[in-house]
Amino acid sequence: MEEQLSNSLSKLTDKLSGWFDALILNLPNFLIAIIVFTLAYILSRYLQGWTRKFTQRFIKQPSIRGLIANVTAIVVVLIGLLLSLAILNLDGTLKSLLAGAGVAGLAISLALQGTLSNTFSGLFIAIKDEINVGDWIVTNGYSGKVVSINLRNTRIKEADNNIVVLPNTMIMDNPFKNYGLTQRIRSTVTCGVSYDSNLEAVKKIAISAIEELFPPKYNEAIEFYYTDFGGSSIDFMLRFWVDGREKLNALEVKSEAIMKLKEAFDANDIDIPFPIRTLIHQNNAVEELKIKTPEFSNNNN
């Protein structure tokens, strides 16, 4: 019994002695590995801050900038870890870690396929600068102002103040219209004037009124066309340019244009007639019926 105990202690002592000798022999490598990993960690922190500042020039979403900065820092730390393991001659451990990381990465990517898809879509949206906070967009049957873009979804505030949350993949995989990509857009208003109006004067007055309200820029021109002989009026279409970065006020733009045209026509005694229908009774009496729904309408081209 005592002999067995003595042998066990001897083996333990030999093992500890061997470990101590190995530690002494590998102490320089161990110190170098610690230094390399420490430098990698310090470098990752520096690159993380630098990446945030650098990406601020072309990425406006803080969440996207934070993701890119964190990924950069993690990559640098992983490189430092791999170098440290290689310095310690832990090639077997290194291969095991790489193999395990590959399997784990495959499993995680399959489990988080939707989330990763939304994340990469968010990155693409931010980098390509196709949609920014404050733009007015129309997509997937929704129309509103973009209030936030994060790694998973884009939030849109509609005209009725409701918030629509759309996954980034839905925006990237479907057509969308972004009014914020165009600085100037064209708006259209249609109207009609009475048959006894001076058409040349109507044209000049209408163009002058809109030009005062929404002055043209660059090589833009206000377009005026008579379009139809209506039932009770000669109809025309007026097209003009407005700033398009804030498209949510499209209805307000047309409302102001209509009010300005009405004011100008009233000042120059130009009549915007009501539709008139002629009713014939059995006793051959003729009656003119005025329907009080002005022929003022508008659409947007």
Question: Domain span at residue 286?
Answer: 182-299
- Which of 41-45, 62-66, 81-85, 107-111 is predicted most confidently? 41-45
Total residue length of the chain:
301
Inside any domain, residue 122: no
Question: Whole-angstrom Cα distance, residue 262 to residue 268?
Answer: 10
Whether 48 is in a domain gets the answer yes
Q: What is the CATH number of the domain that holds 53?
A: 1.10.287
Q: What is the pLDDT of residues 267-276, one digit of tens each?
A: 999 998 877 6
Final residue in a domain of this structure, among 121, 156, 179: 179
Same domain, 294 and 186: yes
Instruction: Identify the domain boundary among 111, 138, 161.
Output: 111
Band (298; pLDDT cuts 50, 70, 90):
very low
31-71 tens-digit pLDDT = 788 888 889 889 988 888 888 888 777 766 666 677 678 77
CATH of the domain at 165: 2.30.30.60
Cα–Cα distance for residue pair 296/237, rounded to 1 Å: 11
- CB 6, CB 49: distance < 8 Å: no
Q: Which of 74-88, 162-176, 234-248 has maximum average pLDDT?
A: 162-176
Task: Enumerate the β-bridge partners of residue 136.
Answer: 145
More reliable by pLDDT, 77 or 119: 77
User: Are 10 and 107 contained in the same domain?
Assistant: yes
pLDDT band at 19 (very low <50, low <70, confident <90, very high): low
The residue ranking higher by pLDDT, 183 or 37, is 37
Distance between CA atoms of 203 and 191, rounded to whole angstroms?
12
Confirm whether 160 is domain-assigned: yes
User: For residue 207, which of 225, 219, 193 has the smallest C-alpha distance?
Assistant: 225
Q: Domain with 219 in it: what CATH number?
A: 3.30.70.100
Residue 61 lies in a domain: yes
How many domains is the chain built from?
A: 3
